[in-house]
């Protein structure tokens, strides 16, 4: 479902200043430039975000997910008869490290909720960026056996049929975006990321997770074309084109430090849910003790793709202040700004 209500059609087609540097990492100069982008006007932009406690993957997570979505005003009428694409974060084939990938228990719970709501179909899709052997990644992550048990179809987006759309927002210099055909099949696209810090993007959450919809046959491994175009801008362009419907962040066990792969586990015991991905990611960043206005792609999303200011997010469920932790970040000058406070 492309160009959905995730975007406001009255917003400008792109940022007024080209602030994102090309290249694979957020170097210090690039970070400063990204933070200097003119922040969008969030007036009139509001979003609901639910923070739900979930202490363990051994719990029955489906009722927690169902209750959280009900807090957002979502229920059977929203999903009945729809095709639902679940997009987890599968980075590395490591079942022994539950802080790297979206946990299979979360995928199972979300699928159960949508099926109970009468969805026409629920399928799981991912185009992982590192290991090219999808069958191996599924098996070693523990997700493969769950998909088999639940009879959930898996689509390898790296090798899906593709189509091309104009890059209407133009945060990068890419004139078009090549997308997998499975996005046209889906009525509802659900981003199911892991709560993690990231050695280039600062944090990797619901918006960054959509890197994985971009087919490797078009963008390489690990999505090298997008890294070269600039990670913050690519995140924004992808989200604008895909128009995801919902995000549910797996923060039961997150990752701190040298994410998205080499970091350490950080239990926090939460799921974060919402239909506006910038607002969800802003709340998740605050749960990690990071100011979202200091994260370049979130600063770029503010007022254009959604609100990120705390005053513009209607927080439901658990208060962030009670659950927030200070996640360790990689000790590098390009990330030092994440611990600074913005003037917003």
Residue 140: per-residue pLDDT: 84
For residue 221, what pLDDT band results from cuts at 50, 70 and 90? confident
Residue 38: per-residue pLDDT: 54
Strands (E), 38-128: 47-53, 83-88, 121-126
Strands (E), 193-306: 194-198, 202-204, 246-256, 264-274
For residue 154, what pLDDT band results from cuts at 50, 70 and 90? very high
Lowest mean pLDDT among 89-103, 149-163, 291-305: 89-103
Q: State phi, psi for 293 to the nearest 5 degrees.
A: -70, -15
Spell out the domain ranges in the chain: 45-339
Q: Is the pLDDT of residue 28 over 90?
A: no
Q: Per-residue pLDDT averaged across 64-78, rounded?
A: 98
Lowest mean pLDDT among 7-11, 87-91, 140-144, 273-277: 7-11
| Cross-strand partners of 246 | 190
CA dist., res. 183 & res. 12, Å (int)? 25
Q: By C-alpha distance, which of 15, 33, 14, 13 is closest to 23? A: 33
User: What is the tens place of the pLDDT at every residue in 254-291?
Assistant: 999 998 988 999 999 999 999 999 999 999 999 999 99
Q: What is the DSSP letter of 22?
A: P
CA dist., res. 138 & res. 134, Å (int)? 6
**Which of residues 340 and 233 earns the better pLDDT score?**
233
Residue 129: per-residue pLDDT: 76
Q: Is the pLDDT of residue 92 over 80?
A: no
For residue 152, what pLDDT band results from cuts at 50, 70 and 90? very high
Instruction: Specify the residue for token string 């363990």.
Output: 56
For residue 319, CA distances in Å to 41, 53, 152 come to 26, 10, 34
What is the CATH architecture assignment of 45-339?
Answer: 3-Layer(aba) Sandwich (3.40)
Residue 341: per-residue pLDDT: 61
What is the per-residue burial (b if ≥16 Cβ within 10 Å, else e) of 162-184?
A: beeeebebbbbebeebebbebbe
Q: What is the pTM for the complete model shown?
A: 0.89
Instruction: Specify the residue for token string 């895909």.
Output: 242
CA dist., res. 298 & res. 165, Å (int)? 23
């Amino acid at each position: 479902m492309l160009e959905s209500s995730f975007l406001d059609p009255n917003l400008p087609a792109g940022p007024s200043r080209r602030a994102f540097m090309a290249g694979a990492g957020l170097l210090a100069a690039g970070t400063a430039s990204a933070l200097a982008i003119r922040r969008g006007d969030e007036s009139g932009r509001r979003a609901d975000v639910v923070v739900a406690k979930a202490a363990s993957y051994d719990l029955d997570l489906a009722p927690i997910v169902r209750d959280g979505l009900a807090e957002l005003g979502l229920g059977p009428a929203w999903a009945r008869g729809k095709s639902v694409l679940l997009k987890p974060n599968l980075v590395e084939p490591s079942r022994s490290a539950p802080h790297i990938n979206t946990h299979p228990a979360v995928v199972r719970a979300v699928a159960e909720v949508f099926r109970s709501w009468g969805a026409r179909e629920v399928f799981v899709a991912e185009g992982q960026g590192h290991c090219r052997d999808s069958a191996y990644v599924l098996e070693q992550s523990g997700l493969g056996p769950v998909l088999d048990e639940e009879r959930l179809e898996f689509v390898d987006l790296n090798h899906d049929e593709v189509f091309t759309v104009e890059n209407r927002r133009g945060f990068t210099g890419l004139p078009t975006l090549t997308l997998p055909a499975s996005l046209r099949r889906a009525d509802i696209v659900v981003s199911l990321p892991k709560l993690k810090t990231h050695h280039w993007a600062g944090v990797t959450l619901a918006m960054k997770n959509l890197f994985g919809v971009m087919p490797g046959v078009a963008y390489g491994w690990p999505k090298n074309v997008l890294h070269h175009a600039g990670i913050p801008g690519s995140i924004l362009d992808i989200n604008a084109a895909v128009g995801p419907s919902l995000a549910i962040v797996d923060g039961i066990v997150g990752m701190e430090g040298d994410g998205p792969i080499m970091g350490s586990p950080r239990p926090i015991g939460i799921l974060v849910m919402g239909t506006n991905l910038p607002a969800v990611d802003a709340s998740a960043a605050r749960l990690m003790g990071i100011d979202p206005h200091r994260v370049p792609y979130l600063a770029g999303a503010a007022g254009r793709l959604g609100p990120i200011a705390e005053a513009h997010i209607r927080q439901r469920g658990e208060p962030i202040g009670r659950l927030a932790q200070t996640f360790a970040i990689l000790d590098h000058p390009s990330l030092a700004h994440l611990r600074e406070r913005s003037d917003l």
